[in-house]
Structure 1
Amino acid sequence: MSKAVSCGRDITCVPDLPKTIQLAGQDGFDFVSVPLFHPRYKREYFIPGYTRPGPATRSDKVINSSDWSTLAVTKLSPWIQLDSKDDTQRRLSEKAFHEELSLAIHLNVPVIMIPLTSGDCANLARCISRYLLQSNHHIFWIKIPIKSPQDELSCQGQANDEDPWEWWNTLFTLCSQNKKLGVALELCSELPPLSKVDRWCGEPLKTIVLSTDLFMNNKRGYPVLSRIHQAFMEKVFKLDVQLLLTGASKLEYGIPSYYQYLNHIYQSRPSRSLIEKFSKGYEDYLQNPLQPLMDNLDSQTYEIFEKDPIKYVQYEKAVARALTDRVPDEMKDSTTTIVMVVGAGRGPLVDASLRAAKSVDREIRIYAVEKNPGAVVTLLNRASEDWDDRVTVVSCDMRKWSAPEKADILVSELLGSFSDNELSPECLDGAQSFLKSDGISIPCSYTSYLSPISSPKLYIAVSGCKEKDKAYQFSHYETPYVVRLQNVHVLAEPVPCFTFTHPNYNNPINNERYLAMTFDLKEAAVLHGFAGYFDTILYDDITLSIHPRTHSTGMISWFPIFFPIKDPMYIPASSKITVHMWRVCSAKKVWYEWCLTEPFKSCLHNPNGRSYWIGL
């Protein structure tokens, strides 16, 4: 059974904190959200000679320190207005803000929740930044409504420029996109359009605030959410957010019934797909792309990719189809097809080819070509123990091998997350010298795709990837990363980038590429980089894909690739993004360069391969 939902109870006024925590726990909640000071307790710092007798708030000893650090989220007093136009109110708010945050840090509470009510928040950002610098162990939840209260004006025909995402983006930008800032997103009865809702999936969502007013009664009198709200919850559950229930019970079954329902929809969410199970723990985790041509892969890496339940099934289908197309039934008893598996690894494509031949009753002889000496040992063992005399193992770089005969079918799995980033074009161009003039290459073509994305989480992760041995101090922003995308907002549909076909009979062969791609954005967003995908035609109509729209269900071999940009770029609504991408080749290496020219200009990333390249 999966774990229960993590849900807190928001309390407006707390006369007895220990009892409040106890009752919340009995109702199923994991923590409480409470004010540090009474909501109506205002300070009189600037009244000459005035002093208020007694303590300002409760003692920290009302609960023990471990309860403060695990069970309590503290809230800023709602009357504090750090960006008030009234100077006295602003100064009073500043002093109260520092008093409350200092006390919260003293109590060692894990989270401090601060409301954000407008985009006029420069002073709030300044005050928060002070504590972001001072405190290493505290997280700040910025409570934001998903829809501005002023939206009601637009429903009545009045102009409305209020967008809570813009408020958040202003604050987050002014605070340098600090990773200790998160969003507490407060839902409303009518959600904004999907294009606006989806933007929050790229932000650092920490909790979803749900008022009891959002719930309806079902036939049995229990609380339920609308289908639209349920769909939203299903979307954000993937981001491992917590929930926070606020408001009084409107039903006879009381507050526990709300928690039970929230836990029910959490437990009832669709089970994880195979790729979600496989990638658990790797969501938004940056990995350097493999370079199997320059570096020899280890046994563990081979083992991981060999577990793919889809890829080798598709290869088997492709080889079987190619065999039947090449050798008609009347010739099958007198014809032996030469299959060369180049980059054979530990032999999964050899197995797939042998299974394919058996399934269509065709005779084949296989050459398994592999440059990795460790993998060759495995191939030689398998050749003697599993494959009899049907497979000849060749320990050689496919580009340098002098084959004793020509191949009918050339099979390889040299593709990377961006299709060509493991140098499949260069390898197969070299290997095609031992392919017959009418021979078949599997795969026969592959195409890369790009789409713009927003993800503060990925950008913060890239910012922490500085490498001491790189000459250029911003090399980490000029390096693509393989990553399982999750806390990401895709700003536009992917578009095709580079395509390669095999065999490649162009003369001369040129694998350099350049393309300018334009994307139309409906809503304002912050651009942090580009996600790369690919699809490939193995043979005929048999394909593999990590393109989001055509992803091969169940395939786990490839995650997308992420091309960051050095400086996040705010893109206004109804704008165009134009990105330029180059694939550049030299005698010893291949690399990508990229830049933007619309709606604003960026620097050229990775010129001359100064930060990242793939070795030949």
Structure 2
Amino acid sequence: MRASCGLEPAHVHELRDALQETSQNGYDFTSIPLVHPRLVREHVSGAAAARPGPFTRSDMLLSTSDWSNLVVVALNASACQGCDSGNRNVVANSEASLQQELLLASHLSVPVVMARITSQYCINLARILHNKVVAGCSYLVWVRVPLVSPADEAAYFRSDIKAPNNTDTWTWWNRFHSIANTEKKIGLCLEIGADLPDEEVLERWLGEPVRCAVLPTSIWLTNKKGFPVLSSRHQLFVKKLHKLHSQFLITGHLRHPHLKFYQQYLDHIVQSEQQNEDAMSQYVRGYEDYLQCPLQPLMDNLESQTYEVFEKDPIKYQEYERAIYDALVDLVPEENKDERTVVVMVVGAGRGPLVRRALTAASQADRKIKLYAVEKNPNAVLTLHAWQEMEWGDKVSVVSCDMRDWQAPEEADILVSELLGSFGDNELSPECLDGAQKFLKSDGISIPSSYTSYIAPLQSPKLYNEVRSCREKDKHFLHHYETPYVVYLHNKREIAPSQELFTFNHPNRSAHIDNRRHKALQFRVTEDSAMHAIAGYFEATLYKEVKISIRPETHSPGMFSWFPILFPIKEPINVHAGEIIEIHFWRCVTSKNVWYEWCVTDPVSSAIHNPNGRAYTIGL
């Protein structure tokens, strides 16, 4: 995917010429003001109020197609600032000027209007633009915000200047977006300067809906051949922005031999990044921030294509094979390998990938095994019988039965399963394995032997809007906020590192097995942030040192069988540096269902989500 790049000319004398220059140099769109920046418009009072004639160019200069595909409208900066000036006449005049431009933008069918904010005083501007979006305007709104405030930049170069406290430009944007109800049609246009802030600050911006990044010509360097290039940190940030599907806007006077070189360079660095993508990146393309309902394989029979997707994972089955190999070697010493046959039961065998791996592990370990493949899905059992007939023969006994109901003819030395979900236990692995362990020997081995769920507070307006748009007419009005979703988290930022939540061990030899859980976790906030959801992950120990994980800090490289799980919250919560986020989580169990409940208690209290499993349960 090439970099979508636009050009903002320093001067637009002739509109047609500006668009032609943009196109000839390989750019996709042009950013222009609808009204000359120095044209005084007085709507309330003053000499200009009675000025005859039009206030700007005719729409006939361009075709409708050009207006609707090639033009981004930059709203008058003075009018945007004036909406929150505090002076009644200035506010009234600025509002009228802004409404005039917004009406013309609708008339022209432009795809985007861009407003600039230069301070935290943007409440009235947010109200005006939000009202337009709510009223059903055809265009998107980009809010142009500097990555670093001018005051901070001045302080960087002059030690005698003390930056004021309101220079965190993210708080400007967050205030604007919060007042505008975190609207999906309002995105961020991030203006990047020569000096980039710390990585933690950049990561916070990457959790926002960055629709466009402004790259002034003044921040570009010149290489030995005279071509424009970006610093290594700028390159890395641009690549991350491109992964968010951000567009780019080149602004400022030409400082290099040709305008097209800027666009060509951006295209070069994003294309080179794509050529070096790993299997995981290629697999997840198209799934970014796409909400999916978690699987319930215990209640529903999986389809063939679902099995096929999981079986393509290059890492998961490799680690399972390694775990089975190690377990066989530990169970049967070399001197006893001809005397003892190990009973291995694969429960929840699906279409047989773990059966094949168990046979391979036994061959590599040079150990004899007797293998049972237990599966409740009658359609998958057909595949198992086919494998048995074509390849396995009497090496494998296929059993069509729910593992909890099966009366095994003998006890197992090793019990192998792949019942883990994105949250570890959310596909009811604890309940299934607790029911199956009755036919595991007292010194038998379970693979996996344990798994732990993790959670972290998440900042992501994108995902919040995705959840908000999932409302269904025939469901409870809070249903979509109380349903977990499996999603490849992309346009997001973890506010704090994930922490351990619930752990399950197998076999579970407790006298009274109780899989209900409750835990409260506290997360310290290091940067002002907005919390939109809770992210969930898991780590699993298959056998001894053999582990698999989808937790960001310990993710198994290249493994894509599981995406993280997302627990929404009803309202975004603004949190400040130094504050503590406290999250309570419950795993509730009845004879028929399992479900989660969750709430936030600090820095503000939210209501319990999913009480009594009213929106989401997992069927036993």
The answer for the alignment partner of 2:56 in structure 1 is 57
Q: Is the 1:342–1:370 contact (alpha carbons within 8 Å) kept by the matching residues of 2? A: yes
1:418 has 2:423 as partner: yes
Letter in 2 for 1:59: S
The secondary structure found in structure 2 opposite 1:196 is helix
> 2:442 aligned to 421, 437, 444, which one?
437
After TM superposition, the structure 1 = structure 2 runs for residues 26-175 of structure 1, keeping only pairs within 5 Å, are 26-47=24-45, 50-80=49-79, 81-152=82-153, 154-155=155-156, 156=160, 158-161=162-165, 162-175=167-180
> 1:305 aligned to 310, 316, 329, which one?
310
Letter in 1 for 2:506: H
User: How far apart, CA to CA, are the structure 2 residues paired with 1:281 and 1:602?
Assistant: 33
After TM superposition, the structure 1 = structure 2 runs for residues 72-471 of structure 1, keeping only pairs within 5 Å, are 72-80=71-79, 81-152=82-153, 154-155=155-156, 156=160, 158-161=162-165, 162-251=167-256, 253-269=257-273, 271-470=276-475
Letter in 2 for 1:265: I
Q: Deviations over 1:216-274 (max 9, x none)?
A: 122222212122212211221210111000001123x1222222222222222253222
Q: Is the 2:22–2:30 contact (alpha carbons within 8 Å) kept by the matching residues of 1? A: yes
Flag the 1:417–1:182 CA change in 2: closer, same or farther, 3 A.
Answer: same
The answer for the alignment partner of 1:533 in structure 2 is 537
Q: Is the 2:152–2:163 contact (alpha carbons within 8 Å) kept by the matching residues of 1? A: no
Q: Is the 1:153–1:160 contact (alpha carbons within 8 Å) kept by the matching residues of 2? A: no
Q: Deviations over 1:459-511 (max 9, x none)?
A: 111111123343x3212111111000000011111111111111110111111
User: How far apart, CA to CA, are the structure 2 residues paired with 1:32 and 1:397?
Assistant: 62
> 1:556 aligned to 554, 557, 560, which one?
560
Deviates more, 1:450-459 or 1:212-221: 212-221
The secondary structure found in structure 2 opposite 1:440 is strand
Q: Is the 1:346–1:375 contact (alpha carbons within 8 Å) kept by the matching residues of 2? A: yes
The secondary structure found in structure 2 opposite 1:518 is strand
Shift of 1:157: 5.1
The answer for the alignment partner of 2:498 in structure 1 is 494
Q: Is the 1:82–1:93 contact (alpha carbons within 8 Å) kept by the matching residues of 2? A: yes
The secondary structure found in structure 1 opposite 2:150 is coil
The secondary structure found in structure 2 opposite 1:93 is helix
Letter in 2 for 1:568: P
The secondary structure found in structure 1 opposite 2:36 is coil
Letter in 2 for 1:134: A
The answer for the alignment partner of 1:576 in structure 2 is 580
The answer for the alignment partner of 1:6 in structure 2 is 4
Q: Deviations over 1:416-458 (max 9, x none)?
A: 0000000000100110000011111000111111111011111
Shift of 1:281: 0.9
Identity of aligned residues (%): 51
Q: Is the 2:151–2:163 contact (alpha carbons within 8 Å) kept by the matching residues of 1? A: no
- Root mean square deviation of aligned Cα: 1.4
Flag the 1:22–1:153 CA change in 2: closer, same or farther, 3 A.
Answer: closer
The answer for the alignment partner of 2:546 in structure 1 is 542
The secondary structure found in structure 2 opposite 1:549 is helix
Q: Is the 1:154–1:160 contact (alpha carbons within 8 Å) kept by the matching residues of 2? A: no
The secondary structure found in structure 2 opposite 1:113 is strand
Shift of 1:159: 4.8
Normalising to structure 2: TM-score of the pair? 0.97
Letter in 2 for 1:207: C
Structure 1 stretches of 5 or more lacking a match?
none
The secondary structure found in structure 1 opposite 2:237 is helix
Structure 2 stretches of 5 or more lacking a match?
none
Letter in 2 for 1:556: F
Letter in 2 for 1:15: H
Shift of 1:154: 4.9
Letter in 1 for 2:449: C
Shift of 1:46: 2.8
User: How far apart, CA to CA, are the structure 2 residues paired with 1:10 and 1:301?
Assistant: 47
Deviates more, 1:156-165 or 1:35-44: 156-165
User: How far apart, CA to CA, are the structure 2 residues paired with 1:417 and 1:116?
Assistant: 40
User: How far apart, CA to CA, are the structure 1 residues paired with 2:87 and 2:599?
Assistant: 45
Normalising to structure 1: TM-score of the pair? 0.97
Q: Is the 2:44–2:92 contact (alpha carbons within 8 Å) kept by the matching residues of 1? A: no
User: How far apart, CA to CA, are the structure 1 residues paired with 2:431 and 2:42?
Assistant: 75
User: How far apart, CA to CA, are the structure 1 residues paired with 2:161 and 2:78?
Assistant: 30
User: How far apart, CA to CA, are the structure 1 residues paired with 2:549 and 2:175?
Assistant: 38
User: How far apart, CA to CA, are the structure 2 residues paired with 1:446 and 1:400?
Assistant: 24
Q: Deviations over 1:376-432 (max 9, x none)?
A: 111112111221111111111100110000011100000000000000001001100
Q: Is the 1:6–1:30 contact (alpha carbons within 8 Å) kept by the matching residues of 2? A: yes
Q: Deviations over 1:505-552 (max 9, x none)?
A: 011111111111111111111101111111111111111110112111
1:25 has 2:23 as partner: yes
The answer for the alignment partner of 1:593 in structure 2 is 597
Q: Deviations over 1:331-376 (max 9, x none)?
A: 1112211110000011111001011111111111111111111111
Q: Is the 1:465–1:476 contact (alpha carbons within 8 Å) kept by the matching residues of 2? A: yes
Q: Is the 2:346–2:417 contact (alpha carbons within 8 Å) kept by the matching residues of 1? A: yes
User: How far apart, CA to CA, are the structure 1 residues paired with 2:618 and 2:474?
Assistant: 17
Q: Is the 1:248–1:255 contact (alpha carbons within 8 Å) kept by the matching residues of 2? A: no
Q: Is the 2:538–2:549 contact (alpha carbons within 8 Å) kept by the matching residues of 1? A: yes
The secondary structure found in structure 2 opposite 1:37 is coil
Letter in 1 for 2:271: Q
User: How far apart, CA to CA, are the structure 1 residues paired with 2:261 and 2:381?
Assistant: 62
Letter in 2 for 1:552: S
User: How far apart, CA to CA, are the structure 2 residues paired with 1:47 and 1:549?
Assistant: 61
Q: Is the 2:188–2:209 contact (alpha carbons within 8 Å) kept by the matching residues of 1? A: yes
User: How far apart, CA to CA, are the structure 2 residues paired with 1:593 and 1:572?
Assistant: 25
User: How far apart, CA to CA, are the structure 1 residues paired with 2:16 and 2:487?
Assistant: 44
The secondary structure found in structure 1 opposite 2:393 is coil
The secondary structure found in structure 2 opposite 1:485 is coil
User: How far apart, CA to CA, are the structure 2 residues paired with 1:147 and 1:73?
Assistant: 23
Letter in 1 for 2:589: C
User: How far apart, CA to CA, are the structure 1 residues paired with 2:472 and 2:42?
Assistant: 52
The secondary structure found in structure 2 opposite 1:536 is strand
